[in-house]
């Protein structure tokens, strides 16, 4: 299969501490891939390197054949990587609809003059964004909440909205940072179903960080285990989770 993301020898240091070292990963198009490891292992740092929050001091990141190493966050997002965060980051005082439209601005624009004077080009673009935003909200069963402030949504719906907003940027690769954090078992099962749906419905490639082993084993086809900033194990999910090194270092057994 075609490769969506290939990372080689990725690394970064902070004040002499090697936070991530020699990180390699290859993810095929349409794959559900997991990145796991103990707290402080460097997982979120990897996400920050992939999305331009940090600039790596070694290595390369190639997305769908394009080298995006060291590019700025907005450039990487336009190239096709979107993400969510462990601590949900929505525009709390904006409506559900406007949160999704914020993501759509990556691919829809009008001049400042058109916006100020509400020219036909402004109205056309706004109409197109409203339609696309409603399509996404319908997919996530949020279409009845369009006028609700994002901060007033229940937790589970906020998670859905954050994913919908990420998808509004029309990504090739979606990074999910601990999407099951704070969820009960029933919510986690619903999340698993939603992630599978997103992969299939949007033909999406997904990389997720997660601590919930039930979710990881239930949806991830392959895993990488990070420990002290380096890859400890990598491969098919069942093989990785049965690896004695992983059991010792990650599961604490």
Transcribe 60-120 into DSSP letters: EEEETTEE-TT--HHHHHHHTEEE--SS----TTSBHHHHHHHHHTTT----HHHHHHT-H
Mean pLDDT, the chain, integer: 89
Q: Rounded mean pLDDT of 149-164?
A: 94
- Cα(114)–Cα(136) distance, rounded to whole angstroms? 26
Average pLDDT over residues 61-74: 96
In which band, very low, low, confident or very high, does the pLDDT at 126 lie, cut at 50, 70 and 90? confident
pLDDT, tens digit (0-9, with 9 covering 90-100), for 189-235: 998 999 999 999 999 999 999 888 888 999 999 999 999 999 999 99
Measured over the CA atoms of residue 200, residue 205, residue 211 and residue 217, the dihedral's sign is: positive
pLDDT at residue 249, rounded to an integer: 67
Q: In this structure, how many other beta carbons lie within 10 angstroms of the beta carbon of residue 157? A: 18
Domain boundaries of the chain, sorted by first residue? 3-80+171-251, 92-158
| pLDDT at res. 111 | 47
Q: CA 221 to CA 216: how far, in whole Å? A: 9
Confidence of residue 109 (pLDDT cuts 50, 70, 90): low
Q: Does domain 3-80+171-251 have CATH number 3.40.50.2300?
A: no
């Amino acid at each position: 299969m075609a490769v969506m993301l290939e990372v080689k020898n990725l690394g970064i240091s902070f004040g002499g501490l090697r936070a991530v070292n020699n990180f390699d990963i290859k993810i095929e198009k349409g794959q559900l891939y997991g990145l796991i490891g103990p707290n402080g292992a460097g997982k979120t740092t990897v996400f920050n390197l992939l999305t331009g929050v940090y600039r790596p001091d070694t290595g390369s990141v190639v997305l769908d054949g394009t080298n995006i190493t060291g590019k700025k966050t907005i450039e990487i997002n336009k190239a096709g990587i979107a993400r969510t965060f462990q601590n949900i980051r929505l525009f709390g005082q904006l409506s559900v609809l406007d949160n999704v439209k914020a993501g759509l601005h990556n691919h829809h624009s009008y001049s400042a003059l058109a916006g100020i004077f509400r020219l036909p080009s402004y109205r056309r673009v706004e109409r197109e964004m409203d339609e696309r935003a409603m399509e996404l909200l319908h997919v996530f069963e949020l279409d009845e909440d369009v006028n609700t402030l994002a901060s007033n949504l229940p937790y589970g719906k906020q998670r859905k909205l954050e994913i919908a907003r990420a998808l509004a940027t029309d990504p090739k690769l979606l990074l999910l940072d601990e999407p099951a954090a704070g969820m009960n078992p029933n919510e986690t099962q619903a999340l698993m179903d939603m992630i599978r749906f997103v992969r299939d419905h949007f033909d999406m490639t997904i990389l997720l960080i997660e601590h919930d082993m039930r979710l990881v084993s239930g949806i991830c086809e392959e895993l990488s285990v990070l420990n002290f900033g380096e890859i400890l194990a990598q491969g098919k999910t069942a093989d990785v989770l049965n690896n004695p090194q992983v059991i010792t270092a990650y599961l604490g057994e």
